[in-house]
A and B are shown apart, each in its own frame.
Chain A
Amino acid sequence: MTEATVRSEVGSPAPMTQAVQAARRRAKMRHTLRRASVYAVAIAIALWILVPIWLIFTMAFSTPQDVRSFPKPFYPSPFSTDTIEFFLNTEGVLRSTLNSFIVAIIALLLSTAIAMPAGYAIARFVFRGRDTIRLGILSVRAFPVVVLAVPLAVVFIRLGMFDQTYSLALMHTALTLPTTILVIASVFMGLPYEFEEAAQVFGCTRLQAFWRVVLPLAVPGIAAAAVLTFVLSWNEVFAAILLTITNRTLPAQILYNLDKSGDPYKFAGGFFMLVPSLIFIFFIRRYLFSMWGQLNK
């Protein structure tokens, strides 16, 4: 007990009457209700997002008979991998999955490699035209895919690069490059320049300082940007279906076959496309806000 408490008890108001207690209970109740309503909204939104995913999961892991049945089951019963196996064994699916991976990996490596020096330059140097370049990159970030895909297809045909996984990867790199540059720039901006200066004072060259001090610290952020590139390329369908015919990526393959195939193929395909993204988003979720926070500036 401190002196303060001793004092306050002396000056304490009249003991709580029943009315006061009732008012207090009501106030407490309202407070609890407010918290509860926030939870209710949060849970409702979570369900709005999760239920459709659950439904497509149910379809992917039900038997093909159940997939075609009506009314449909709301959970896999019996649990079966027949539908997903049927999908994976369908002509062209594994090949297009492989293509999707190749395209996404090339795009990821290429866009990170090209964007890293550019991001570093924007983050660390003051030079003539810096703002113009930044603004230019910012404005092509929202460039419609549809606009680029058609002429690129024509150019690729002319150059004999049409229907190749690498040319689609080049296109996807172009689509993600602006965002990647800005994200990587924001990662570098988040690292104090003093780190590099300190390293240089203690005997590193500029390149060594970058390599030994800055890069290790920037790796998580850069990795997050790379994952974002992967997800974008994995999901992209418009350019994919325009630029490839025999070397389709998974979304292009599924889209092309939509009209020709039954529900088991569609639903298993829908679920199958979902999985890698779910995993990747889980890993980069911490970086999402810092990435976008910087981008808006």
Chain B
Amino acid sequence: MLSFIIRRLAISVVVLAGISVLLFVLLQLMPGDPAEMMVDPFSFSGDRAAAVQQRREELGLDQSLFVQYVRWIGEFVQGNLGFSYSTQRPVTEIMLERFGPTARLMGTGLVIALLVGIPVGILAAMRRNTAVDYGATVLSLIAISIPSFFVALIGIYVFGLKLGWLPTAGINSAGGGGLADSLRHLVLPAGILGFALAGPYVRYARAAMLEVLGQDYLTTARSKGLARRRVIGRHALHNALIPLVTVVAVQIPTLFAGAVIIEQIFAWPGMGRMALDAVRARDYPILLGFVMAVAVLVLLCNLIADIAYAIIDPRIRLSGARA
């Protein structure tokens, strides 16, 4: 088991290094010069060309791409992601500040999606081809196919503007406002994020449950005279949940992508909004930090999915060890 994890970790590091090179090159290929942008032509007064050149040297943008990369990776392994071009603050510090709000949004969204999606999916499987199943299917397809930004705008209009039950944007009222205030601000964005994600969970849970329900051992269990409740509860449910662990882990990056959009609409001060602002401002250090963080997240989630699966299902572990 340990060697399996170590091997997977080693592969992850290589993949990460590859991603960093690719990213670095791609970012430099983005049109537009950050040094030019930092000396705003419409408000600057003085020798602009000299000021731009001074900025370029300060930022090390006059060096070759290779030198810039080596410098950056050297700092990266020490946990330092450089300094933001636009605010001059350490990128690590900015990302840590932004991580809290994003984790709050994603974590709550995920819990909502799990608490809604999995029970509904299982219920739909057990009541297959009844009104409950059809209802769940239609709802989950709606959740999957309507873009979350649209649901978000409807949500803001109905609950924020028309009914006035919930705030329209932001993470808290002016100045913080305490736990109740934070929760009120969380309801709409996290609820909508959870709704979008619950759709796929319903589908997966339903499919997994149906597959298990068709297995021979369930027929056996039932023929032994076990109560239906016990057959479903102990035998079917547990086996159906195994593949869902993987699905949840692999879907976390999708959740992250959804959070980027939700953050933008709700003026949520998280990492997604930071990344979009950084794209507009050509803030390469922030962009690099953000995309690397996403890469790490994706690799980590895949790793966790593999390991979790190996632990839960001995067949995977054996074949994994042999390969």
Binding between chains A and B: no
A positions within 8 Å CB-CB of B: none
